[in-house]
Structure 1
Amino acid sequence: MASPINAQSADQSIEISADEITRTVRTMTLDQFEGRAPGTAGEDRTIGYLIGRFEALGLEPGGVDGTWTQAVPLLHTVLGEPEKLSISMNGETTNLNAGKDIYVSTLQPKDRAVVGDAEMVFVGYGVTAPERGWDDFKGVDLKGKVAVFLVNDPDFAASSQEDVAGEFAGRAMTYYGRWTYKFEEASRRGAVAALIIHETEAAGYGWNVIESPQGENYGTVSADGQMTSLALQGWISGSAAESLFDDAGLDLAKLRVAARTKGFKPVALGAEFSAAYPVKQSIVKSQNVFGKITGKARPDETIIFGAHWDAYGEGPPDENGNIYRSGANDDALGMAGIMEIARKFKSMEQPDRTIVIAAWAAEERGLLGSEVYAQSPVYPLETTVANLALDVLQTGGKAKDVILVGKGQGTLEDDLAKFAGLQGRVVTEESLPERGLFFRADHFSLAKRGVPVLLMMGLAGASDLVEGGRKAGQKWIDDYTGNCYHAACDAWSPDWDLAGAMQDINVMFDIGNSLAYSKQWPEWKKGSEFKELRDGSADARR
């Protein structure tokens, strides 16, 4: 149910300040923080800075056991050169080119990653979606085998005449289309390896992006010692996949069409995959940081405002000699936003519900800080009212609209439209929903456990800027993503116009404020893959 406009007035509170936001961003991008990479001296300084700022804002420690933090132990792995990498079929063995034909990594804490003569099985899109009556596996045993997947959803490439059209949100990606889901599903079924067939359009990026980590990966460290069944996970190039299926006497193009039907069954490829890699592994110690304002009436009900403190650390020098990739926009600006939201709440009457300000670790390594939290939450997920996330805000100036990420997921999007409307703005849907941005920021770790979420992300679509319209909004995205995204030039600039970012921060505050003094609970909408999870914990909210 969408929450009503809050009767609790914020008129007497302080205003969110562009000067304060600028001060925070400029501080967090100083060289002394070394690009804020997890597990470095730069992290230690960042954590100290954040705790100091949270204290100065008047927040209470909101972490584990009355502290400010939560430990985020990370497994870091790097594959060496393969000792063996091949596919055998009909008595013939074909060696694969690492990087060109196949890209893999591992999230097992072992010194070697080995797959020995494992049977390869094509599983289509690899979707198990009971709410859609969809099961690509049909009971086929994958234990010890290599699962080969198509990327994206079953309806991504479907024509309007096919029965599947629109079943998985059309061109918009559902979680079933994300590579993370496919690897998780393969592991749940005991596969020893998982390979996704790369297609640039369906993946949303080229092969150059696939291979850029160069065999490196990060994962969470399970407290109970459990680990993925996958010795290797990754991608096989489109051309290598075509050759594999041709050699097996199979028509991959026809199988793509068959995989878009509910009657699809896995297909054994009659091939065996073998690989052996040396692995360098280590445990990296990182931390989430939390501050809170305890609710006076219902303190066990929490509203989380989140952003990630980490960036990309040290890299090769750019043309100006800068080596630190400090993420001014991604996501020091988001961090500055949630600090200003905290400062505004502290100037108001104590909220009925608890406000949590969450600074997530290791987002750039795969949403890992928020994933650790979701696995071991400090605040029960069943009574977490909402998670409101800021990750990359546009700095091109005031906008006539606000960009919605994840249309149709939850009632918080109705709140977004309502409060944006009070600013005189309208909602514009993200321009490339097939890229699945909804699943690529920290809020998603909580979403897939059923917590209602809303993401504010300036990269999701071209804003209709007051000065220059949508053309200017697209130019801002193109300039940022084409030049500075995850690069050293993602730095504070005196050319930033924070008026649009301020609009977005204020909208997120208004949504949280409307919930902070309310008894309303945001919900997932019918058709969302997360609705059933949330509905299952309804008793905890009664």
Structure 2
Amino acid sequence: MIKTLSAWMSAGMVLAACQTAPVAGDDGSPINMATMSETVRIMASDEFMGRAPGTEGETKTVDYLITRYTELGLEPGGRNGAWTDAVTMKHSVITDVRTLSANQDGHAIEMAQGRDIEISSANARGVIRVEDAPVVFVGFGVSAPERDWDDFGDIDLKGKVALFLVNDPDFGVAEDHAVSGLFGGRRMTYYGRWAYKFEEAARRGAVAALVIHETKAAGYGWNVAASSPGENYAVAGNKSKASVDLQGWLHEDMARQWVAQAGYELDDLRTAARTRDFTAFTLGDLRFNADLALSVETVESQNVLGKISGTTRPDETIMLSGHWDAYGIGEPDAQGRVVMPGANDDALGLAGIMEIARNLKAGPAPERTVVFAAWTGEESGLLGSEAYAQDPVYPLETTVANFTLDILQTAGPANDVIQVGEGQSDLEELMAAAAAAQGRTVSPEGLPENGLFYRADHFSLARRGVPVLLIMGIAGGSDLKDGGREAGDAWVKGFIDNRYHNQNDAWDADWDLRGAAQDVELFLDMTRDLANSTEWPELKPTSEFKGLREASAAARK
């Protein structure tokens, strides 16, 4: 049964008690770790059913967040004085695979969904058929004139299948390779993201786009890539980008069969694709066929928005955000658990956002407006933040910054904070100063090849020119006070291998949240400083979005 608002208010009273209770290991931080832990315990409980959009779990989650925001003394931050902002999604699931094969010269390679391929559709309709579509190997699928790089050449992709390598052309090459460093070295650029590749294929008229999965280059295993086979969410009425009929991942073993059938070796193709003179070409007479039935539904979901209005410059906004959704109900694991609780990803991030709100409300009102956003649909492709960015409540031109918390490390205090997406904005220098005031340093991403800057909700605003910062605990192992970098790396590996996007991402009473509290306090200090200043952080020349911010400069004068 769904809890009533009064029942959630009772839960809130427990949290209020936590806010003043002694906190074990507290060293004077304004961040109450007991409150954060209790917030996660509630949001990650089975009662919330994994917090999937459009479900009873969403209803409970949204009610709970509104209750908490109300208790914190926030004002409704949506349109027309509402707490929520609607996000309409199209949800499709492939229900029947009648045909799924690659064929050449009468030889058919049959494929199993979830084992050999993970394919879905953002163009939600009941039946999708692809008949004898030629397969084009497009290498890394990069069109980057500023780097004098074009993988597509003159090829026509209309009605064809685009087959991509994952990541960037310079991923994993030796330092003396001709392409080394051209695309950021180990740090993934936006060209390396599957989202860019799908969008580029759609712009060029492809009927389908498939990315060859490689664990190191993707940043996660096949088990993650194929965790929801055949399922897709998209923002309804999305006018910002076209979509191919079918998109997804092709298992590396299956990709090797495809290219071998066409007379090539995958390793040779990968080598060729790392040269400037590579251009896309059709893989022999290889043809892709699919005949799929889908169930399609419209999902009405909600972003939850609260705010503290600015006293002197209310039209200038600073946004703090995390996502409320997780993966809902899945197949039973070895222990028979079906709920995917999303404790760290991202109930803990939202718990940190609420602690920032509590601290700001306890002090003088800020000069600028501070907005607290809990997004829907992050796990479905950043959909809640993308819907907001397409039609923002607060103009992006006068949004000073976005700070996003998405997965915080739970292994104790650290000597540093990890910088995600280096070279983007002046916020990086502000973060270094705030970290120094805590006695900490800033370290670069330990896993820059994973492209985390492009994989969290802040990116929906970043790609439109808003200065952003992301703190994400899996961006690289922190230099922990107990165990150093080795212990930090072990925590990251343990989370990705054992907890990421599965039933094990559960609340744990034994978490050491002192490191998480350091990161939350860092964003609190930065928010407070920016909210009481007239500064406008600028994008750096190395940001691919600098031109977008410069185009709106007049709005900030």
Task: Tell me, yes or no, whether TM beats 0.5.
Answer: yes
**Partner residue in 2 for 1:462:** 477
Structure 2 distance, partners of 1:243, 1:333, is 43
Instruction: Give the drift of 1:274.
Output: 1.8
- Determine whether 1:439 maps to 2:423: no
Structure 2 distance, partners of 1:301, 1:130, is 35
Note if contact 1:108-1:227 (Cα within 8 Å) is conserved in structure 2: no
Instruction: Give the drift of 1:508.
Output: 0.8
Q: How many residues align?
A: 528
Change in 2 beyond 3 A, CA 1:212/1:18 = closer
Structure 1 distance, partners of 2:271, 2:42, is 53
Note if contact 2:389-2:461 (Cα within 8 Å) is conserved in structure 1: yes
Structure 2 distance, partners of 1:102, 1:313, is 23
Note if contact 1:333-1:393 (Cα within 8 Å) is conserved in structure 2: yes
Q: Bigger shift: 96-105 or 46-55?
A: 96-105
Note if contact 2:199-2:243 (Cα within 8 Å) is conserved in structure 1: no
Note if contact 1:123-1:136 (Cα within 8 Å) is conserved in structure 2: yes
Structure 2 distance, partners of 1:35, 1:210, is 19
- Determine whether 1:261 maps to 2:275: yes
Output the TM-score relative to the length of structure 1: 0.92
- Determine whether 1:38 maps to 2:66: no
**Deviations 1:145-186, CA, capped at 9 Å, x for gaps:** 211111110111333333321111001111110111100111
Change in 2 beyond 3 A, CA 1:539/1:254 = farther
- Determine whether 1:373 maps to 2:388: yes
**Partner residue in 2 for 1:243:** 257
**Partner residue in 2 for 1:86:** 101
Identity %: 56
Structure 2 distance, partners of 1:192, 1:313, is 30
**Partner residue in 1 for 2:169:** 154
Change in 2 beyond 3 A, CA 1:227/1:136 = closer
Output the TM-score relative to the length of structure 2: 0.89
Change in 2 beyond 3 A, CA 1:272/1:317 = closer
Structure 2 distance, partners of 1:223, 1:183, is 15
Q: CA RMSD in A?
A: 2.3
> For residue 62 of structure 1, what is the amino acid of its counterpart?
G
5+ residue gaps, structure 2? 1-27
**Partner residue in 2 for 1:417:** 432
- Determine whether 1:396 maps to 2:411: yes
Instruction: Give the drift of 1:144.
Output: 1.6
Instruction: Give the drift of 1:43.
Output: 1.0
**Partner residue in 2 for 1:328:** 343
- Determine whether 1:164 maps to 2:187: no
Note if contact 1:108-1:228 (Cα within 8 Å) is conserved in structure 2: no
SS at match of 1:256: helix
Change in 2 beyond 3 A, CA 1:223/1:462 = closer
Note if contact 1:96-1:102 (Cα within 8 Å) is conserved in structure 2: no
**Partner residue in 1 for 2:158:** 143
- Determine whether 1:49 maps to 2:64: yes
> For residue 419 of structure 2, what is the amino acid of its counterpart?
L
**Partner residue in 2 for 1:510:** 525
**Partner residue in 1 for 2:20:** none
SS at match of 2:315: strand
SS at match of 2:68: helix
Q: Bigger shift: 502-511 or 115-124?
A: 115-124
Flag as ranges the 4+ runs of structure 1 deviating above 6 A. Answer: none
> For residue 129 of structure 2, what is the amino acid of its counterpart?
V
Structure 2 distance, partners of 1:139, 1:413, is 40
Alignment of 1:293-308 (within 5 A): 293-308=308-323
**Deviations 1:88-132, CA, capped at 9 Å, x for gaps:** 43x434232123443311111211111122222222211122332
Change in 2 beyond 3 A, CA 1:495/1:360 = same
- Determine whether 1:215 maps to 2:230: yes
SS at match of 1:369: helix
Structure 1 distance, partners of 2:251, 2:492, is 28
Instruction: Give the drift of 1:316.
Output: 4.6
> For residue 252 of structure 2, what is the amino acid of its counterpart?
G
Note if contact 1:463-1:469 (Cα within 8 Å) is conserved in structure 2: yes
Which structure has more RCO (C-alpha within 8 Å, separation ≥ 6)?
Answer: 1
SS at match of 1:82: strand
> For residue 125 of structure 2, what is the amino acid of its counterpart?
K
Note if contact 1:86-1:93 (Cα within 8 Å) is conserved in structure 2: no
Instruction: Give the drift of 1:318.
Output: 5.6
SS at match of 2:249: strand
**Partner residue in 2 for 1:292:** 307
Instruction: Give the drift of 1:425.
Output: 0.7
SS at match of 2:135: strand
